[in-house]
Amino acid sequence: MSQYIHHIPGRIRVRSKAFRCHGERALNAQAQLMAMDGVRDVQVNPRASSIVVQYDPERLSRVELFATLEELGCMAPVRRDSEHASRLGETFGKALVGAAVQKAVEQSARTLVGALV
């Protein structure tokens, strides 16, 4: 099932080919999501194969909402690669700091050589 997820706090949109084939799945999900505490509105568009959920992020977390959407068959399990992403961010940060330090050392060396000449 290919899908597209767009999320900002308070709003999530999921597009999935499964909704095109199983529009009743989206309508069932709409009813169940509306019954959840913190959900403000649910819009289903079978033609666009999408479902949009407006929710209160103070009362309902993104993780809880994603888990419910997974249980309802609205989306495939979300990959939780936070450890990998964290490692990638750490590596990128070290490379960026290393490049900045190297540039500063090069400029300092040029200044020192210029002063001696």
Domain count, the chain: 2
Is residue 76 in a domain?
A: no
Domain enclosing residue 56, as ranges:
3-71
Shared domain check, 96 and 116: yes
Q: Residue 36: which CATH number?
A: 3.30.1360.40
Instruction: Determine the Cα–Cα distance for residues 65 and 12; give it in Å rounded to an integer.
Output: 9
Instruction: Determine the Cα–Cα distance for residues 114 and 111; give it in Å rounded to an integer.
Output: 5
Q: Could you tell me the pTM of the whole model?
A: 0.60
Shared domain check, 90 and 52: no
**pLDDT confidence of residue 41:** 96
pLDDT digits (tens, 9 = 90+) for 11-65: 999 888 766 656 677 778 889 999 999 999 999 887 888 889 999 999 999 889 8
Give just the sign of the alpha carbon dihedral 101, 106, 111, 113. positive
Strand order in the sheet with 11-16: 3-8, 11-16, 50-55, 39-45
pLDDT digits (tens, 9 = 90+) for 54-110: 999 999 998 898 888 888 877 766 555 555 555 666 776 777 777 777 887 788 777
